[in-house]
Structure 1
Amino acid sequence: MKAMILAAGRGTRMRPLTDHTPKPLLEAGGRSLIVHHIERLATAGIRELVINHAHLGEQIEHALGDGADLGVEIRYSPEAAALETGGGIRRALPLLGEAPFLVVNGDVWCDLDPGALHLAPGDLAQLALVDNPLHHPEGDFSLDDGRVRDGGAPRLTFTGIGLYHPALFAEQPEGAFRLAPLLRAAMADDRVGGLHHRGRWFDIGTPERLAALDALLRERS
Protein backbone atom coordinates (compact mmCIF):
# COMPACT_ATOMS: atom_id res chain seq x y z
CA MET A 1 0.00 0.00 0.00
CA LYS A 2 1.06 3.58 -0.71
CA ALA A 3 0.29 6.59 1.44
CA MET A 4 -0.05 10.29 0.80
CA ILE A 5 0.73 12.96 3.38
CA LEU A 6 -1.08 16.24 2.76
CA ALA A 7 1.38 19.06 3.37
CA ALA A 8 0.23 21.91 1.12
CA GLY A 9 -1.76 23.98 3.62
CA ARG A 10 -0.77 27.52 4.49
CA GLY A 11 -1.33 27.13 8.25
CA THR A 12 -2.62 30.67 8.77
CA ARG A 13 -3.93 29.93 12.28
CA MET A 14 -0.40 28.92 13.29
CA ARG A 15 1.16 32.25 12.38
CA PRO A 16 3.74 33.55 13.07
CA LEU A 17 5.21 30.03 13.36
CA THR A 18 4.28 29.23 9.76
CA ASP A 19 5.46 32.51 8.23
CA HIS A 20 8.86 30.97 7.60
CA THR A 21 8.30 27.26 8.28
CA PRO A 22 5.71 25.00 6.62
CA LYS A 23 3.29 23.62 9.17
CA PRO A 24 4.29 19.94 8.75
CA LEU A 25 7.88 20.84 9.71
CA LEU A 26 6.87 22.32 13.07
CA GLU A 27 8.26 20.17 15.84
CA ALA A 28 6.68 18.34 18.77
CA GLY A 29 8.60 15.99 21.02
CA GLY A 30 11.87 16.76 19.22
CA ARG A 31 10.69 15.73 15.73
CA SER A 32 8.64 17.43 13.03
CA LEU A 33 4.98 16.54 12.63
CA ILE A 34 5.64 15.02 9.22
CA VAL A 35 8.46 12.82 10.53
CA HIS A 36 6.09 11.46 13.18
CA HIS A 37 3.77 10.43 10.34
CA ILE A 38 6.55 8.90 8.28
CA GLU A 39 7.86 6.86 11.19
CA ARG A 40 4.39 5.51 12.02
CA LEU A 41 3.75 4.61 8.38
CA ALA A 42 7.12 2.89 8.05
CA THR A 43 6.48 0.89 11.23
CA ALA A 44 3.22 -0.29 9.67
CA GLY A 45 5.13 -1.44 6.58
CA ILE A 46 3.97 1.46 4.38
CA ARG A 47 7.13 2.78 2.77
CA GLU A 48 6.05 4.22 -0.59
CA LEU A 49 4.95 7.77 0.16
CA VAL A 50 3.70 10.76 -1.80
CA ILE A 51 3.82 14.23 -0.27
CA ASN A 52 2.16 17.27 -1.81
CA HIS A 53 3.29 20.75 -0.92
CA ALA A 54 2.79 24.39 -1.83
CA HIS A 55 3.67 26.98 0.84
CA LEU A 56 7.44 26.85 1.44
CA GLY A 57 7.40 23.37 -0.03
CA GLU A 58 11.05 23.41 -0.96
CA GLN A 59 11.83 23.26 2.76
CA ILE A 60 9.92 19.98 3.02
CA GLU A 61 11.87 18.46 0.13
CA HIS A 62 15.15 19.70 1.60
CA ALA A 63 14.33 18.29 5.05
CA LEU A 64 13.15 14.86 3.89
CA GLY A 65 14.92 14.28 0.58
CA ASP A 66 14.03 10.96 -0.99
CA GLY A 67 13.15 9.49 2.41
CA ALA A 68 16.06 7.02 2.49
CA ASP A 69 17.26 8.27 5.89
CA LEU A 70 13.82 7.44 7.30
CA GLY A 71 13.56 4.05 5.63
CA VAL A 72 10.95 5.11 3.06
CA GLU A 73 10.72 6.21 -0.56
CA ILE A 74 9.21 9.68 -1.05
CA ARG A 75 7.85 11.20 -4.24
CA TYR A 76 6.60 14.78 -4.31
CA SER A 77 3.54 16.40 -5.87
CA PRO A 78 4.25 20.15 -5.87
CA GLU A 79 1.40 22.62 -6.30
CA ALA A 80 1.95 26.17 -7.50
CA ALA A 81 -1.09 27.11 -5.43
CA ALA A 82 -2.73 24.81 -2.91
CA LEU A 83 -5.43 22.69 -4.58
CA GLU A 84 -7.34 21.87 -1.36
CA THR A 85 -7.58 18.31 -0.15
CA GLY A 86 -9.55 16.79 -3.02
CA GLY A 87 -7.64 18.59 -5.74
CA GLY A 88 -4.30 17.73 -4.20
CA ILE A 89 -5.13 14.03 -4.07
CA ARG A 90 -6.53 14.12 -7.64
CA ARG A 91 -3.30 15.67 -8.93
CA ALA A 92 -1.22 12.98 -7.20
CA LEU A 93 -3.19 9.99 -8.55
CA PRO A 94 -0.53 9.11 -11.18
CA LEU A 95 1.96 8.69 -8.32
CA LEU A 96 -0.44 6.72 -6.13
CA GLY A 97 -1.38 4.01 -8.60
CA GLU A 98 -4.56 1.99 -9.04
CA ALA A 99 -4.80 0.32 -5.63
CA PRO A 100 -6.44 1.85 -2.51
CA PHE A 101 -4.12 4.24 -0.71
CA LEU A 102 -3.91 5.88 2.70
CA VAL A 103 -4.13 9.65 3.11
CA VAL A 104 -2.99 11.48 6.25
CA ASN A 105 -3.34 15.19 6.98
CA GLY A 106 0.12 16.56 7.65
CA ASP A 107 -1.11 18.78 10.48
CA VAL A 108 -2.51 16.11 12.80
CA TRP A 109 -0.91 13.66 15.21
CA CYS A 110 -2.55 10.33 15.96
CA ASP A 111 -1.49 7.03 17.51
CA LEU A 112 -3.73 5.03 15.15
CA ASP A 113 -2.13 1.97 13.56
CA PRO A 114 -2.52 2.69 9.80
CA GLY A 115 -2.88 -1.04 9.21
CA ALA A 116 -6.23 -0.97 11.02
CA LEU A 117 -7.95 0.59 8.00
CA HIS A 118 -9.40 -1.71 5.32
CA LEU A 119 -11.83 -1.11 2.47
CA ALA A 120 -14.89 -3.33 2.39
CA PRO A 121 -15.85 -4.69 -1.04
CA GLY A 122 -17.45 -1.94 -3.12
CA ASP A 123 -16.45 0.86 -0.75
CA LEU A 124 -14.70 4.01 -1.92
CA ALA A 125 -13.37 5.08 1.48
CA GLN A 126 -12.89 4.18 5.11
CA LEU A 127 -12.47 7.03 7.55
CA ALA A 128 -10.89 7.09 11.00
CA LEU A 129 -13.13 8.99 13.44
CA VAL A 130 -12.60 10.08 17.03
CA ASP A 131 -14.69 11.45 19.89
CA ASN A 132 -15.27 15.16 19.42
CA PRO A 133 -12.57 17.39 20.90
CA LEU A 134 -13.44 20.53 22.83
CA HIS A 135 -12.63 22.74 19.85
CA HIS A 136 -15.00 20.80 17.53
CA PRO A 137 -17.93 19.69 19.71
CA GLU A 138 -20.44 19.30 16.86
CA GLY A 139 -18.39 16.63 15.08
CA ASP A 140 -18.49 15.77 11.37
CA PHE A 141 -20.21 12.44 10.66
CA SER A 142 -22.04 9.67 12.46
CA LEU A 143 -21.00 6.02 12.56
CA ASP A 144 -23.69 3.33 12.33
CA ASP A 145 -22.54 -0.29 12.49
CA GLY A 146 -19.30 0.52 10.70
CA ARG A 147 -20.92 2.77 8.09
CA VAL A 148 -20.27 6.52 7.98
CA ARG A 149 -23.34 8.73 7.55
CA ASP A 150 -23.71 12.43 6.83
CA GLY A 151 -26.26 13.01 9.55
CA GLY A 152 -27.62 11.16 12.51
CA ALA A 153 -26.25 11.06 16.04
CA PRO A 154 -24.03 10.82 17.89
CA ARG A 155 -21.58 12.53 15.62
CA LEU A 156 -17.82 11.96 15.63
CA THR A 157 -14.89 13.96 14.29
CA PHE A 158 -12.99 12.98 11.16
CA THR A 159 -9.30 12.61 11.98
CA GLY A 160 -8.01 13.55 8.54
CA ILE A 161 -6.85 9.94 8.12
CA GLY A 162 -8.60 7.81 5.54
CA LEU A 163 -8.17 4.93 3.13
CA TYR A 164 -9.42 5.74 -0.38
CA HIS A 165 -10.04 3.96 -3.63
CA PRO A 166 -8.71 6.01 -6.57
CA ALA A 167 -12.14 5.74 -8.23
CA LEU A 168 -13.39 8.28 -5.66
CA PHE A 169 -11.33 10.97 -7.45
CA ALA A 170 -10.74 9.66 -10.95
CA GLU A 171 -13.72 11.34 -12.63
CA GLN A 172 -12.99 14.74 -11.12
CA PRO A 173 -11.30 17.35 -13.35
CA GLU A 174 -7.95 18.64 -12.19
CA GLY A 175 -7.97 21.82 -10.15
CA ALA A 176 -8.82 22.89 -6.63
CA PHE A 177 -11.75 21.16 -4.94
CA ARG A 178 -12.69 19.94 -1.48
CA LEU A 179 -12.79 16.33 -0.37
CA ALA A 180 -15.93 16.56 1.78
CA PRO A 181 -18.49 16.74 -1.09
CA LEU A 182 -17.01 13.58 -2.66
CA LEU A 183 -17.23 11.76 0.65
CA ARG A 184 -20.80 12.89 1.27
CA ALA A 185 -21.84 11.68 -2.19
CA ALA A 186 -20.21 8.31 -1.48
CA MET A 187 -21.92 8.17 1.93
CA ALA A 188 -25.27 8.71 0.21
CA ASP A 189 -24.51 5.58 -1.84
CA ASP A 190 -23.46 3.67 1.33
CA ARG A 191 -19.89 3.31 0.08
CA VAL A 192 -17.97 4.75 3.07
CA GLY A 193 -16.92 2.68 6.06
CA GLY A 194 -15.63 4.00 9.35
CA LEU A 195 -13.44 3.11 12.30
CA HIS A 196 -13.88 4.67 15.74
CA HIS A 197 -10.36 5.31 17.03
CA ARG A 198 -10.34 5.65 20.81
CA GLY A 199 -6.69 6.57 21.23
CA ARG A 200 -4.88 9.88 21.06
CA TRP A 201 -5.49 12.43 18.28
CA PHE A 202 -4.38 16.04 17.99
CA ASP A 203 -5.48 18.54 15.36
CA ILE A 204 -2.55 20.96 15.34
CA GLY A 205 -4.61 24.02 14.50
CA THR A 206 -3.15 26.48 17.01
CA PRO A 207 0.20 27.08 18.71
CA GLU A 208 -1.43 26.04 21.98
CA ARG A 209 -2.34 22.61 20.63
CA LEU A 210 1.17 22.18 19.26
CA ALA A 211 2.54 23.01 22.71
CA ALA A 212 0.15 20.49 24.32
CA LEU A 213 1.32 17.74 21.95
CA ASP A 214 4.94 18.66 22.57
CA ALA A 215 4.41 18.38 26.33
CA LEU A 216 2.71 14.98 25.97
CA LEU A 217 5.43 13.53 23.77
CA ARG A 218 8.24 14.82 25.97
CA GLU A 219 6.51 13.37 29.03
CA ARG A 220 6.25 9.98 27.28
CA SER A 221 9.92 10.00 26.33
Structure 2
Amino acid sequence: MSTCVQGIVGKAYHFIMNLFIALPPCGLWSFRGLLDMINVMTYDYHGYFENYVGHGAPLYASHYDVGPINVTLNVASGIEHWLKLGADSTKVNLGVATYGRSFTLADLNNRKPYAPITGGGLAGPYMRQEGFLGYNEICELHSDWTYEWDDEMKVPFRYKSDQLVGYDDVRSMTEKVLYANSKKLGGIMLWSLDTDDFRGLCGRAYPLLKTIKENLK
Protein backbone atom coordinates (compact mmCIF):
# COMPACT_ATOMS: atom_id res chain seq x y z
CA MET A 1 0.00 0.00 0.00
CA SER A 2 2.76 2.46 0.90
CA THR A 3 4.52 1.64 -2.40
CA CYS A 4 1.29 2.35 -4.28
CA VAL A 5 0.84 5.73 -2.59
CA GLN A 6 4.46 6.71 -3.22
CA GLY A 7 4.03 5.79 -6.86
CA ILE A 8 1.21 8.31 -7.12
CA VAL A 9 2.68 11.29 -5.27
CA GLY A 10 6.41 10.59 -5.49
CA LYS A 11 9.04 9.00 -3.25
CA ALA A 12 10.15 12.27 -1.70
CA TYR A 13 7.41 11.96 0.89
CA HIS A 14 7.29 9.75 3.97
CA PHE A 15 3.87 8.62 5.09
CA ILE A 16 2.76 7.70 8.58
CA MET A 17 0.05 5.06 8.36
CA ASN A 18 -2.35 5.05 11.31
CA LEU A 19 -5.34 2.82 11.93
CA PHE A 20 -8.28 3.91 14.10
CA ILE A 21 -10.32 0.84 14.94
CA ALA A 22 -11.88 -1.23 17.71
CA LEU A 23 -11.40 -4.81 16.49
CA PRO A 24 -9.47 -6.03 13.41
CA PRO A 25 -11.83 -6.97 10.55
CA CYS A 26 -11.17 -9.93 8.31
CA GLY A 27 -8.39 -9.36 5.79
CA LEU A 28 -7.04 -6.24 7.46
CA TRP A 29 -4.54 -7.98 9.69
CA SER A 30 -2.50 -9.17 6.71
CA PHE A 31 -0.89 -5.74 6.25
CA ARG A 32 -0.35 -4.89 9.92
CA GLY A 33 3.39 -4.65 9.25
CA LEU A 34 2.79 -1.53 7.18
CA LEU A 35 1.14 0.34 10.04
CA ASP A 36 3.08 2.85 12.12
CA MET A 37 0.37 3.05 14.77
CA ILE A 38 -2.79 1.17 15.72
CA ASN A 39 -5.13 3.48 17.63
CA VAL A 40 -7.56 1.18 19.43
CA MET A 41 -10.89 2.89 20.14
CA THR A 42 -11.42 1.40 23.59
CA TYR A 43 -14.50 3.46 24.44
CA ASP A 44 -18.21 3.60 23.56
CA TYR A 45 -18.62 0.00 24.67
CA HIS A 46 -21.98 0.99 26.15
CA GLY A 47 -24.38 3.89 25.83
CA TYR A 48 -28.01 4.88 25.64
CA PHE A 49 -28.18 3.12 22.26
CA GLU A 50 -28.68 0.03 24.43
CA ASN A 51 -31.67 -0.33 26.74
CA TYR A 52 -29.68 -0.45 29.96
CA VAL A 53 -26.97 1.28 31.99
CA GLY A 54 -23.36 0.59 31.09
CA HIS A 55 -20.11 2.50 31.39
CA GLY A 56 -18.75 3.60 28.04
CA ALA A 57 -15.14 2.71 28.81
CA PRO A 58 -14.60 0.41 31.80
CA LEU A 59 -10.99 -0.61 32.26
CA TYR A 60 -11.96 -4.10 33.41
CA ALA A 61 -15.09 -6.26 33.45
CA SER A 62 -17.62 -6.12 36.28
CA HIS A 63 -19.20 -9.06 38.06
CA TYR A 64 -22.43 -7.85 36.46
CA ASP A 65 -20.99 -8.71 33.04
CA VAL A 66 -22.38 -12.11 32.13
CA GLY A 67 -21.86 -14.00 28.89
CA PRO A 68 -19.00 -14.40 26.42
CA ILE A 69 -19.54 -11.01 24.78
CA ASN A 70 -20.29 -8.78 27.76
CA VAL A 71 -17.14 -9.83 29.62
CA THR A 72 -15.05 -8.54 26.71
CA LEU A 73 -16.61 -5.07 26.52
CA ASN A 74 -13.85 -3.26 28.37
CA VAL A 75 -10.52 -1.59 27.69
CA ALA A 76 -8.26 -4.39 28.91
CA SER A 77 -10.02 -7.03 26.82
CA GLY A 78 -9.84 -4.82 23.74
CA ILE A 79 -6.10 -4.27 24.09
CA GLU A 80 -5.40 -7.90 24.97
CA HIS A 81 -7.22 -8.99 21.83
CA TRP A 82 -4.81 -7.03 19.64
CA LEU A 83 -1.75 -8.23 21.53
CA LYS A 84 -2.83 -11.87 21.30
CA LEU A 85 -3.13 -11.45 17.54
CA GLY A 86 0.53 -10.54 17.47
CA ALA A 87 0.39 -6.77 17.28
CA ASP A 88 3.61 -4.99 18.20
CA SER A 89 2.71 -3.45 21.57
CA THR A 90 4.84 -0.38 20.85
CA LYS A 91 2.59 0.43 17.88
CA VAL A 92 -0.64 0.02 19.84
CA ASN A 93 -2.20 3.14 21.38
CA LEU A 94 -4.94 2.85 23.99
CA GLY A 95 -7.91 5.06 23.16
CA VAL A 96 -9.55 7.19 25.85
CA ALA A 97 -12.51 9.57 25.74
CA THR A 98 -13.01 12.93 27.44
CA TYR A 99 -16.76 12.50 27.57
CA GLY A 100 -19.28 10.30 29.30
CA ARG A 101 -22.33 8.33 28.23
CA SER A 102 -25.44 9.35 30.17
CA PHE A 103 -28.79 7.73 30.86
CA THR A 104 -32.29 8.43 32.14
CA LEU A 105 -33.07 5.70 34.65
CA ALA A 106 -36.32 3.77 34.54
CA ASP A 107 -36.08 3.06 38.29
CA LEU A 108 -34.58 5.64 40.67
CA ASN A 109 -33.58 2.84 43.03
CA ASN A 110 -31.63 0.85 40.46
CA ARG A 111 -28.44 2.43 39.15
CA LYS A 112 -26.39 -0.73 38.74
CA PRO A 113 -24.88 -1.87 35.44
CA TYR A 114 -27.59 -3.27 33.18
CA ALA A 115 -30.31 -1.36 35.05
CA PRO A 116 -33.18 -0.46 32.70
CA ILE A 117 -33.32 3.01 31.18
CA THR A 118 -35.91 5.06 29.34
CA GLY A 119 -33.37 6.74 27.07
CA GLY A 120 -30.29 8.89 27.02
CA GLY A 121 -29.52 11.42 29.71
CA LEU A 122 -30.49 15.06 29.29
CA ALA A 123 -28.32 17.05 26.91
CA GLY A 124 -25.73 19.44 28.34
CA PRO A 125 -25.42 23.12 27.39
CA TYR A 126 -22.22 22.76 25.37
CA MET A 127 -22.50 19.53 23.38
CA ARG A 128 -26.32 19.67 23.31
CA GLN A 129 -26.54 15.96 22.70
CA GLU A 130 -28.81 13.46 24.42
CA GLY A 131 -26.92 10.67 26.17
CA PHE A 132 -23.58 12.48 25.88
CA LEU A 133 -21.83 14.80 28.34
CA GLY A 134 -18.37 16.25 27.89
CA TYR A 135 -16.02 16.06 30.86
CA ASN A 136 -16.19 19.86 31.01
CA GLU A 137 -19.98 19.68 31.34
CA ILE A 138 -19.77 17.02 34.04
CA CYS A 139 -17.18 18.76 36.20
CA GLU A 140 -18.58 22.29 35.79
CA LEU A 141 -22.31 21.70 35.96
CA HIS A 142 -22.82 18.40 37.75
CA SER A 143 -20.45 18.70 40.70
CA ASP A 144 -23.43 18.45 43.06
CA TRP A 145 -24.35 15.01 41.70
CA THR A 146 -23.50 12.01 43.88
CA TYR A 147 -20.12 10.50 42.96
CA GLU A 148 -19.49 6.75 42.98
CA TRP A 149 -16.28 4.91 42.15
CA ASP A 150 -16.55 1.36 40.79
CA ASP A 151 -13.44 -0.44 42.00
CA GLU A 152 -13.95 -3.42 39.69
CA MET A 153 -14.17 -1.41 36.50
CA LYS A 154 -11.87 1.38 37.82
CA VAL A 155 -14.20 4.12 36.60
CA PRO A 156 -16.55 6.70 38.15
CA PHE A 157 -20.26 7.41 37.85
CA ARG A 158 -22.28 10.45 38.89
CA TYR A 159 -26.02 10.51 39.42
CA LYS A 160 -28.87 12.74 40.54
CA SER A 161 -32.54 11.79 40.51
CA ASP A 162 -33.13 9.81 37.30
CA GLN A 163 -29.95 11.06 35.60
CA LEU A 164 -26.72 9.02 35.58
CA VAL A 165 -23.45 9.37 33.70
CA GLY A 166 -20.41 7.12 33.44
CA TYR A 167 -17.21 8.86 32.41
CA ASP A 168 -13.45 9.16 33.00
CA ASP A 169 -11.90 11.52 35.53
CA VAL A 170 -8.31 12.07 36.66
CA ARG A 171 -8.35 8.94 38.82
CA SER A 172 -9.67 6.58 36.14
CA MET A 173 -7.50 8.16 33.46
CA THR A 174 -4.46 7.50 35.66
CA GLU A 175 -5.51 3.85 35.96
CA LYS A 176 -5.71 3.52 32.19
CA VAL A 177 -2.34 5.12 31.59
CA LEU A 178 -0.72 2.85 34.18
CA TYR A 179 -2.32 -0.12 32.43
CA ALA A 180 -0.89 1.08 29.10
CA ASN A 181 2.54 1.34 30.73
CA SER A 182 2.25 -2.19 32.11
CA LYS A 183 1.58 -3.54 28.61
CA LYS A 184 4.41 -1.48 27.11
CA LEU A 185 2.02 0.19 24.68
CA GLY A 186 3.09 2.91 22.31
CA GLY A 187 0.93 5.56 23.92
CA ILE A 188 -2.54 6.98 24.44
CA MET A 189 -4.99 8.24 21.81
CA LEU A 190 -7.46 10.82 23.15
CA TRP A 191 -10.85 11.86 21.78
CA SER A 192 -11.09 14.78 22.10
CA LEU A 193 -9.54 18.01 23.42
CA ASP A 194 -12.72 20.08 23.13
CA THR A 195 -14.50 18.16 25.90
CA ASP A 196 -11.63 18.23 28.39
CA ASP A 197 -11.83 21.11 30.90
CA PHE A 198 -9.75 23.31 28.60
CA ARG A 199 -10.73 26.53 30.39
CA GLY A 200 -9.72 25.20 33.80
CA LEU A 201 -13.06 26.01 35.44
CA CYS A 202 -12.81 22.94 37.69
CA GLY A 203 -9.12 23.39 38.55
CA ARG A 204 -6.16 23.36 36.21
CA ALA A 205 -6.80 23.48 32.48
CA TYR A 206 -6.77 20.23 30.49
CA PRO A 207 -6.73 17.95 33.56
CA LEU A 208 -7.26 14.73 31.61
CA LEU A 209 -4.68 15.50 28.95
CA LYS A 210 -2.13 16.53 31.58
CA THR A 211 -2.83 13.39 33.60
CA ILE A 212 -1.94 11.32 30.56
CA LYS A 213 1.24 13.29 29.93
CA GLU A 214 2.39 13.07 33.55
CA ASN A 215 1.86 9.32 33.91
CA LEU A 216 2.73 7.92 30.49
CA LYS A 217 6.14 6.23 30.31
TM-score range, shorter chain: under 0.3
Query: Structure 1 length as normaliser, TM-score?
Result: 0.27
Q: State the structure with bigger RCO (CA 8 A, min sep 6), 1 or 2.
A: 1
Query: Between Structure 1 and Structure 2, which shows a larger proportion of strand residues?
Result: 1
Query: Structure 2 length as normaliser, TM-score?
Result: 0.27
**The structure with more radius of gyration:** 2
